[in-house]
A and B are shown apart, each in its own frame.
Chain A
Amino acid sequence: MTGIKQPPARLAEILRTCEQLAFDLEFTHAKAWRKAADDRLLVGYLPIYVPREVIHAANGLPVGIMGVGDHKRIIKGDAYYQSYICHLPRGIIEMALDSNLEDFDGFLFPAICDCVRNLSGMFKLAQKGKFTRYFDYPQNFKEHIGGTFFRELIETVESDMFKLNGVKVTPERLNHSIGLYNRNRSMIEAIYDIRQEFPWRLSAVDTYYILRAGLVMPVEEHNAILEEVLELIGLDHGEAMDNIRVVVTGSFCEQPPIGMLKSMEMAGCYIVDDDLMLGSRWTQGDVDDTTDDPLGAIVTAFLEKSPSSSAVYDVGNPKGARLVDLVRHRHADGVIFCAASFCDPALLDRPELQKACDAAGIVHINFQFHENTGQFKVIKEQAGTFSDSIKLWV
Chain B
Amino acid sequence: MAEVNEAVKERSMVIQKEMLAELFTELSTAKEKGRKVVYTFVPGNLTELILALDMLPVYPEINALQSGMRKKSASYIKDAEKMGFSEDVCTYVKCDIGMMLNGNIGPTGEKLPDPDLLLLSYTGCFTFMKWFENLEKLYPGVEIAMLHTPYQEDGRITEDQITYMVKQLEEEVIPKLEKVAGKKLDRARLAKMLENSSKAEDLWVKVLHSAKTVPSPIDSYFAGVYYMGPLFTAFRGTERALEYYQELHDEIMERQAKGLLPITPEGEMKEERFRLLVEGPPNWTNFREFWKIFYDMGAVIVASTYTKVGGVYDQGFRHDPDNPIESLARYCMGCYTNLSLPQRVDLLEHYIKEYKVDGFLINSIKSCNSFSAGQLLMMREIEKRCGIPVGFIESDLVDPRYFSYANIKNRLESYFQMLAQRKSILAQQPTTEKA
Contacts and interface: CB of A to CB of B under 8 A. Distances in A.
Interface of A: 79-82, 84-85, 89, 111-115, 117-122, 124-126, 133-134, 136, 138-140, 142, 144-146, 148-149, 152-153, 310, 313-315, 318, 320, 339, 341-345, 347-352, 354-355, 368
Interface in B161-220: 161, 163-164, 167-168, 171-172
B151 A134 contact: yes
Contacts of A80: 374, 376-377
Contact of B164 (A117, A149, A320, A349): A149
A-B residue pairs, 4 tightest by C-beta: A121-B341, A351-B84, A134-B153, A348-B130
Contact of B137 (A82, A318, A350): A318
A121 B84 CA distance: 32
A152 B148 contact: no
Interface stretch (B37-45, B109-117, B362-370, B412-420): B362-370
B148 A114 contact: no
Contact of A84 (B88, B151, B344): B88
A354 B341 CA distance: 35
Contacts, number: 160
B344 to A, nearest CB: 8
A313 B136 CA distance: 12
B102 interface: no
Contact of B134 (A89, A138, A351): A351
A232 B394 CA distance: 54
Interface stretch (B12-20, B71-79, B120-128, B254-262): B120-128
A133 B376 contact: no
B49 to A, nearest CB: 17
B317 interface: no
A118 B130 contact: no
A313 B369 contact: no
Interface of B: 83-86, 88-90, 93, 122, 125-127, 129-131, 133-134, 136-137, 144, 146, 148, 150-151, 153-154, 160-161, 163-164, 167-168, 171-172, 340-342, 344-345, 364, 366, 369-370, 372-378, 381, 394
A122 B377 contact: yes
A189 B372 CA distance: 38
A124 B89 contact: no
Given A81-B373, A114-B370, A139-B122, A125 B345 contact: yes
A145 B341 contact: no
A142 B146 CA distance: 12
A152 B160 contact: yes
B373 A114 contact: yes
Given A122-B377, A351-B85, A344 B90 contact: yes
State the majority secondary structure of interface residues on A.
helix
Contacts of B375: 82
Contacts of A79: 376
A138 B167 CA distance: 13
A128 to B, nearest CB: 12
A139 B376 contact: no
Contacts of A352: 133-134, 137
B78 to A, nearest CB: 14
A89 B86 contact: no
Nearest to B396: A84
Contacts of B122: 139
Given A124-B341, A144-B167, A149-B164, A344 B172 contact: no
19 contacts: A80-B377, A81-B373, A84-B88, A85-B373, A113-B126, A117-B370, A118-B369, A121-B344, A134-B153, A139-B122, A148-B164, A149-B164, A310-B130, A344-B126, A347-B85, A348-B85, A351-B83, A351-B84, A368-B88
Contacts of B344: 121
Contacts of B171: 142, 145
